[in-house]
Amino acid sequence: MIHAFGTASTGRLVRTAILVGALVLGAAPLLPGQVAVAAEPAVTSLRLGALFPQSGDLAFGAADALQGVQIAVELFNETNEHGITVELFTADAPNPAGGAGGVRQLVTTNRAQVVMGTYASAIASAAAPAAERLGIPYIETTAFAEGITRNTGNVIRTTISSGALGAAAMDFVLTGLAERLGVAEADMRVALVYTDDEFGVSIADAALERLDASPAALVLQESYPAATTRDLSSVLLRIRQTEPHAVVHVAQVPDATLLWRQAQQLDVYLPAVVGAGGGYGQAQFAAALGANVNGIFNVVPPTSGSINTEALAPRAQELLGELRERVDARGWTQGNYTDWAFMGAWVFLDEILPRAASLSVDDLMAAAAEVQVDALDSITGFGFEFTPAGEPNSGQNQRAIPVVQQWQEGTLSVVYPEALAVSEFIDVPLPTWSERTERIAD
């Protein structure tokens, strides 16, 4: 099931959206949170392996995710009332081969009983099957690719899937954005530009599936190799030729920056651009573009930075306070991935683990299927409810829903869906390059 803003989404999604909406508006009552946990858990200790890129291109964002996991484990060991102790081991996974090797290292050398990762979809796609072959459960906190849960039976994913992300990005273009642009959905002209890695392709596939169900036109579909692309002028010239109303771009920071810088050089007008995770949500992207970043959209699951945290339940506020304090004490920065990884790890440790009869894949999946965490009980603003084993996409958190953020004055603010918005839209459509120059001159 692909969750999207305007499709025939499930009642569960609607309920979650209402919960998050109430949270964002700061008016939600406290709702029943966690299901009661057995007083004496069957599992009393855990050797947990954390597998994230600590070197290579992906390390800069993955460092935040690893730090989130480290703080969750530290906090759990200090405060949990179940008597469970968790020992954390880390391994570097700079690429897919490193991911598979990292799993073997964690399991055979460190005797990890559960592996948690991974930040990057391509690495998770290699690491999760490697863990499955060893009979080890795999907790994915931050990688989006649909195949991670679709192709394996040992994965519990606490964050969103690329299918939901891609569908939501396209859904926003065809509904909320089209309305703001004053263009009927049937008249919308959409360009889809994405990296040809697993992250990009899986999001693009879901976006295309959503577009296929619409009368809107796909005027351009372009993929490119993210790792070796130094020039996107050809893509931009094709965008100029096809005159889309909106561009959905799946990219990392270097190529997202390159596209915008070259668009300015070539004076290619982009009326609206919707990034789907990756580089578009990173502070480095905003730093590279300066004032030109304002008005660009990004579709991601929410974080504590983009919601009204005062509306969270007291326990979630406590958790957030602990996270912030510990991040600050170490001189780290709290990014999106810190939040997603911390909350994912926390739900695994504090909700799933105490319910598990053992650390086997089957028992952890069964325990996960019992978990119900409301949006208000989560620092990220989305709740947790996992697809049971035996069903398609088993282990996927069905309550992980995306929101649309927009860069405004150099920071990201949620603008859509309206129920969750904390800011109004700005610059729809975006100004032309000459209009931007005039603004700066004024």
Partner 1 sequence: MQLTLQILANGLLLGGLYALLAVGLTLIFGVLRVVNFAHAEFMMLGMFGVYWVWRMTGLDPYLAVLVVTPLILLVGIVCDRLIIQRTIGAPEVTVVFATLGLSIFLQNAALMLWTADIRSVTTPYSAMVLTPFGLRVSVPMLISFAVAMLAAAGLWLFLSRTLYGKAVQAVAQNREAAALMGINVRRVYLWTFSVAVAAAGTMGGLIAPLFTVYPRVGMSYIVTVFVIVVLGGLGSVPGAVLAALLIGLIEAAAGFLFGAAWAELSYFLIFLAVLIARPQGFFGRRGAEVFAGR
Binding site for partner 1 (CB under 8 A): 55-60, 63, 196, 222-225, 227-235, 237-238, 253-254, 257-258, 261, 264-267, 282, 284, 287-288, 290
- Which residue lies nearer to partner 1 by CB, 4 or 226? 226
User: Can you tell me which residue has the tokens 């592996």?
Assistant: 115
Contact 96, 121 (CB under 8 A): no
> Going by DSSP bridges, is the β-strand pair 138-140/155-157 parallel, antiparallel, or unpaired?
parallel
Q: Give least dist CB 152 to partner 1, A.
A: 28
- Which residue lies nearer to partner 1 by CB, 1 or 63? 63
Q: How far is CA 304 from the centre of its chain?
A: 13
- Which residue lies nearer to partner 1 by CB, 94 or 305? 94
Q: How many CB atoms within 10 Å of residue 390?
A: 9
Q: Give least dist CB 380 to partner 1, A.
A: 23
- Dist CA 439 CA 442 (whole Å): 5
Q: Give least dist CB 58 to partner 1, A.
A: 7
Q: Give least dist CB 94 to partner 1, A.
A: 9
Sign (positive or negative) of CA dihedral 119, 123, 124, 130:
negative
- Which residue lies nearer to partner 1 by CB, 117 or 137? 117
- Which residue lies nearer to partner 1 by CB, 16 or 294? 294
- Which residue lies nearer to partner 1 by CB, 10 or 55? 55
Contact 298, 172 (CB under 8 A): no
Q: Give least dist CB 200 to partner 1, A.
A: 11
- Dist CA 67 CA 424 (whole Å): 33
Q: Give least dist CB 418 to partner 1, A.
A: 33
CA neighbours within 13 Å on the CB side: how many for 245? 24
Q: Give least dist CB 161 to partner 1, A.
A: 24
Q: Give least dist CB 220 to partner 1, A.
A: 9
Contact 320, 131 (CB under 8 A): no
Enclosing H/E stretch for 166: helix 162-172
- Which residue lies nearer to partner 1 by CB, 198 or 222? 222
Residue 194: helix, strand or coil by DSSP?
Answer: strand
* b/e per residue 12-51 (b: at least 16 CB within 10 A): ebeebbebbbbbbeeebeeeebeeebeeebebeebbbbbb
Q: Give least dist CB 168 to partner 1, A.
A: 25
- Which residue lies nearer to partner 1 by CB, 60 or 89? 60
CA dihedral 396, 299, 195, 2 (to 10 degrees): 40
- Which residue lies nearer to partner 1 by CB, 196 or 362? 196
Here the tokens at position 212 are: 């296929």
- Dist CA 115 CA 182 (whole Å): 48
Q: How many CB atoms within 10 Å of residue 362?
A: 14
Q: CA gyration radius for the chain? A: 21
Q: Give least dist CB 50 to partner 1, A.
A: 17
Of residues 87, 159, 89, the one with CA closest to residue 124: 159
Of residues 366, 302, 276, 367, the one with CA closest to residue 16: 302
- Which residue lies nearer to partner 1 by CB, 260 or 384? 260
